[in-house]
A = this chain, B = another copy of it.
Amino acid sequence: MTTISDVCSTAAKVRVNGERLWRSLMDLATIGATPKGGVCRLTLSDLDRQARDRVSAWLRDTGCKVEIDGVGNIFAIRPGRRSEAPAVLTGSHIDTQPSGGKFDGNYGVLAGLEVLRTLNDASVITDKPVGVAIWTNEEGSRFVPVMGGSGAFAGVFPADEVLRQRDIDGIAFGDALDAIGYKGSAPIGARAVDAYFEAHIEQGPILEREDKTIGVVTGALGLRWYDVVWTGQDAHAGPTPMHARHDALRAASRMVEAVHQLALRFAPDGRGTVGFVQVKPNSRNVIPGRVLMSVDLRHPDDGALADMDAGLRSAARAIAAELAVECEVDQVAQFAACRFDAACIEHVRASARALGYAHRDIVSGAGHDAIYVARVAPTAMIFIPCKDGISHNEIEDARPDHVEAGANVLLQAVLARACVVP
């Protein structure tokens, strides 16, 4: 007679097929492949349709039922013994940035596919269903808001608000979805989820630098976005003495350094970035009278983020006073910090430990579908290193052994939650 512990012990020995997973990643990356080795596959484009068709076919081949909701989210569900029970879900997205890579998002979806294939190969029957989700428009490159599919699923945005958004050519999200044949009939957000695990490349350098294979993602940084406008006085660069200037660019430059120093004061997880600067009139021999700049502040603790906000505004006032310019600081977006579910985090950590992978806890600096799904289901994420921490770039890369390791951790975390049937 087979005991439950025998079955669990057998399931604990099941491993994904790393080569098969790698081949699927490389296969999917041919759709929208760029000359420099990346992928350009904007959401709801015909290339997105081709990718959805291919991955859906692979998911159907595992025996899953594939259904699509009203914003194009795809769900492939492998039945469990209790088929009416909420599924243990995994997944991510297959849209990319305009100059994106092969791994961002695609890895999480195909790792989920590999989990289903592995369960089939090993004839594992789970108590709860196990599913793979492909969320629409995670990247936000063509339509805002970013993470629109998972956000609609989690009730963050009304679905019709998402469907109404227009791209730069004036095409509505809903029309683009219709055009590629992926406006499904399943109700949005109706599916109950037992737990959600998402595997993803880190998109940062921490795991690689510390030679860790697995990042146990405990949550995501809170974020505040600002538009900052400095107003001085345009003046001719030659005749205007240094002490008579109202140089908006000098003020903005001071702010760039102040934002950096502010983040350092909130080390190690504080982040502060100026990514966007627009100088007016932006002429070689004119002292700039106006500079627009962005500020991006992040921290895993919302209280600390509020302190960073105060620090930013205080720095702005000090710079404006010292350099005799005007400053407006306008907060334009805010995401609260996210703490993932303690039990789900522990499933990931225990799986990494049991598999013998070097691992560490890590906080996600980037946005992910998991952050929205976490609002409606217990959630955690699994990070693997990416080369030089680079993503959103055609040279984005990851190692086959890390890709395989992350999928094995995902498999064990899913099994721990979905429970193997004797």
Contacts and interface: CB of A to CB of B under 8 A. Distances in A.
Contacts of A270: 242
Given A276-B283, A296-B284, A238 B223 contact: yes
A202 interface: yes
B286 A294 contact: no
A206 B241 contact: yes
Contacts of A202: 239
B393 A238 contact: no
Given A238-B367, A365-B239, A260 B271 contact: no
A203 interface: yes
A254 B241 CA distance: 21
| Centre residue among A249, A287, A390, A393 by max chain B CB count within 10 A | A249
B287 A275 contact: yes
Contact of A236 (B256, B284, B288, B392): B392
A365 B236 contact: yes
Interface string A355-393: 000000000111100000000000000000000111111
A128 to B, nearest CB: 32
A158 interface: no
A392 B242 CA distance: 18
A296 B237 CA distance: 8
Contact of A238 (B235, B240, B250, B366): B366
B234 A393 contact: yes
Interface string A271-284: 11111111100111
18 contacts: A204-B241, A205-B239, A206-B244, A236-B366, A237-B273, A238-B296, A239-B365, A239-B389, A249-B274, A249-B275, A250-B257, A253-B257, A273-B287, A275-B284, A275-B285, A277-B282, A278-B282, A286-B392
Interface of A: 202-206, 209, 221, 223, 225, 233-242, 244, 247, 249-250, 252-254, 256-257, 260, 263-264, 267-268, 270-279, 282-288, 294, 296, 298, 364-367, 388-393
Given A204-B244, A235-B389, 13 more contacts: A203-B239, A205-B241, A206-B239, A233-B390, A236-B391, A237-B365, A242-B272, A257-B257, A274-B288, A275-B285, A276-B279, A278-B282, A284-B294
